[in-house]
Every structure is written in structure tokens, then in C-alpha cells.
Amino acid sequence: MAKRANGEGSITRRKDGLFHGRAYVTTTSGIRKRVSVYGKTRDEVRVKITELQAQDAKGIPAPDTNAKVEEYLTYWLASVVKLSRRPKTYQGYESVVRVHLVPGLGKKKIRTLRAAEVRAWLGRVAAECQCCKHGRDKARAEPECCAVGECCRSVLSRRMVQSIHAVLRNALQNAVREELIARNVAQLVQVPTPTYDTGKGLSVGQARLLLRYAEEDRFHALYVLALVMGMRRGELLGLLWESVDLERGTLMVERSLQRVNGQLTLVRPKTRSSVRTVPLPPLVVQALTDHRERQAQERVAAGERWREKGLVFTSRVGTPLEPDNLRRSWYPLRKRLGLAIRFHDLRHSCVTLLLDLGVPPHIVQQIAGHSGIEVTMTVYAHASLEEMRKGLNRLGDSLS
């Protein structure tokens, strides 16, 4: 048997039965070194050596890191996500990494992580009940305890698994760009598509009744903006008077109030389409005018306690309004109406009512600040029973 040439690679068998192959290739650090591969059979190792040498011949460097997934995720969060993403995004990524990815995959080496390992682990995560109200043990024993009626498996678990998978996929893709690994194994794993609760829309009659009941509420203008303009809660609470022009009848949505690292912070909206200038109908102009007068009275009453922040909707001393505190006003109003809807459903109602009135979808998209028209038509738009009845009656009349 002829002697192997330098760099051709070698295969030996270890005492534990595994085969050990070695070949000289150029690594991501720019150094040509001997890289090891392992397998249960000689043929398996030979295939791995051949792949290494083929990539080396194409100029693709071999990964040169033994970092564990936990070590890499810590680096990625600090050096990539924190510097390039919004604070709220970083906060969400950090939570997923700390709560799920590190305990589940943190001890594995990023270079040898396999798609089968990721798929099996995500399967175990999906099998766990994520009932946050009553605890996992009770939820397993009493599935009816959850609001969705199926122990959160059909909605919450799928959305959670998708989020975990997305964070891991983004992290590993960055590792591919930095040539730490050859491929992103998370991209080879498919996760179930989550289903989303699109909420309920109000009819015209219900919307009128809500605005009438809210007339004496100090946040009457807020409900008008939510229902007529379809603004998000964070956009409403982050709205500045300098962004409102009551004379011209325009409003610019350019800030959102969010709690980041325990602090209420004004941040830019997540997407470009969320930053928008919209005209104000007379109903909204009048509501904001009345609200400005009411706020001036509150400023006088607060005296030295007033902290001017330039916000349209504030506490009674001018400070930013805690988003959760809006419930103190919304829940009693909702109860009076006898409606079991969320505050965010006012935004849903705006989109639905606009579409029912025949407003073109692309105009509705711009008013609501949706990222794409498909969001307007599939996620937020809810056809009312009355509109469906009218449509079916027209069809029935044409066929009769």
C-alpha cells in the first residue's frame, strides 16, 4: 500500500471503538492546522475528511472554535444584539437565552451542534405546558384551567417555541457570518406555525356607545384616538404635543412608550411603516382640544408637583403613564358596556370599520401603520356578521 501524501489525512481507531480522522486544513483564524473528526465507522470518518478537504479546496475555512453554545450566546448578546437592536428587542432575546437556550443547549459545543439535537430539544419544549396562570402541574392535571381550554398547548406553546427557535436561528446565522461554524443547523429545523388570536371588533353601534360612556373619563381623547385612528397603546402613551397640529389637523406617530429594563422609555417604533403622519377628522380634533384644556387644569391643580414631559396622556402630575395603569380606566368602562374585549381590540375595530366602509386596504394599512397589506387583510381585519349577511344576501338575490 502506497504511503499517504502529506495533508491527505489519516484515520485511526480509538480504544473506545470510535474512529478518529485528522486532516490539515485552513481554519477561520487563518492558520493551517490539523483538524480532528470522529465517527462510528471508518467510512463515516472518511466522508467527513473528504468534506473538510473539499471545503478547503474551495477556500472555505474550517471552524476553529470549541466554544459552548452558552459562551457564544453570551458574546452574541453583548457584542451584536445590544449594539444593533432596540432595547426592547435585546431584553426579549436575553430572556429567551437565559430561560430556555442556556439551560437546554448551553453545554453543547457550537461547532458540533446537530440539527437532530435542536429538533429533539424543541420537541421537548413544545410538549411542556406553558400555563402561566396556574402553574404547570395544575395545568397538566386540569387542562380546563387555561383560558384557551387546551392547557395552552395550541397557542402559547407554539408561539413560545417559534420565538425560541427564531432567537437560536439568528444567533447561529451570525456565527456563520463570522465563520465560526460552517452551517446554521437551526435553519434545518422546522417548527409548527403558531395560531394567533385576532380579537373581536366592535360594531358601529357599540363604538358609538363606548365613546359616549367615556365622555366624562379623563382619557376620553385616548379612547377616541384608539378607536378612530387605530393607534397602539404604546403609541398613544408616547404621543407628544409637539407631534400634534390641531390647526392643520395632523398627527405624527414617531414615538412609543415602553418599559425597558424597569424604566419607562420613549423609543422609535419597530418598523418604518409605524412612523406615519395621519390627518385628524373633526371628532379627534375636538377630543384633543378638550383634553388639552383638561390637562391645563390638572397642571394648575398640581402646582409644583407637575413634571412637564410634553406628553399628551400623563398621570395627574405630568409624568409618563404606566401602561398597565390604563386598565384602571378601561376595565370599568368595559364592564359598563358589558363587553369582554381587550384595549387592543379598539385598534382591531378601527381597521374592521374602515374596511367595512369601503376604504381601500392600502389606505387602511397606512393609517394603522401595518408593516404590510397582508397584515391588514389577514390578522387585523374581521368581517362582521352583518357585512357577511349583506354579502350572502346579495349573492342569494342574484341566484334566485
pLDDT in tens, 17-36: 899 988 888 876 678 888 88
Residue 139 clears pLDDT 70, i.e. is over it: no
The pLDDT of 121-140, averaged and rounded, is 60
Closest by Cα among 267, 228, 232 to 350:
228
* pLDDT band of 387, cuts 50, 70, 90: low
Separation CA 322–CA 340 (nearest Å): 22
Say whether pLDDT at 347 is over 50.
yes
pLDDT of residue 389: 72
Average of per-residue pLDDT across 154-172: 82
pLDDT of the residue at 4: 54
Residue 351's contacts (CB-CB under 8 Å, 6 or more residues apart) are 201, 230, 364, 368, 376, 380, 381
Residue 228 has pLDDT above 80, yes or no: yes
Q: What pLDDT is attached to residue 115? A: 93
Q: What is the CATH number of domain 69-188?
A: 1.10.150.130
The b-or-e profile of 28-42 (16+ CB within 10 A means b, else e) is: beeeeeebebebeee
- Inform me whether the pLDDT recorded for 360 exceeds 90: no
Instruction: Using the predicted structure, report yes or no on whether residue 131 has a pLDDT greater than 60.
Output: no
Are 90 and 82 spatial neighbours (Cβ–Cβ below 8 Å)?
Answer: yes
How confident is the model at residue 7, as a pLDDT? 53
Query: What residues pair up with 252 in beta bridges, in sequence order?
Result: 277
Residue-wise DSSP of 92-161: HHHHHIIIIIHHHHTTSBTTT--HHHHHHHHHHHHHS---TTT-HHHHHH-GGGSTTSSTTIIIIIHHHH
Res. 268: pLDDT tops 50: yes
Report the side by side order of strands in the sheet with 250-253.
244-245, 250-253, 276-279
- Most confident option among 74-83, 146-155, 354-363, 378-387: 74-83
Average pLDDT over residues 376-395: 70
User: How far is residue 83's CA from residue 53's CA, in Å, rounded to a whole number?
Assistant: 36
Average pLDDT over residues 347-363: 86
| DSSP assignment letter at 321 | P
Q: What's the confidence (pLDDT) of residue 385? A: 59
306-318 burial: b if 16+ Cβ within 10 Å, else e? beeeebbbbbeeb
Single out the residue of 235, 204, 239 nearest to residue 370, CA to CA.
235
Q: What pLDDT is recorded for position 283?
A: 94
In the predicted structure, residue 157 carries a pLDDT above the cut 90: no
Q: Please give the average per-residue pLDDT across 139-156, as a whole number.
A: 39
Name the average pLDDT for the chain. 83
**Predicted confidence (pLDDT) at residue 145 exceeds the cutoff of 50:** no
* pLDDT score at 248: 92
Pick the CATH number of 204-391 from 1.10.8.10, 1.10.443.10, 3.40.50.1780, 3.30.930.10: 1.10.443.10
* For the chain, domain boundaries: 10-57, 69-188, 204-391
CA–CA gap between residue 335 and residue 102 (Å, rounded): 43
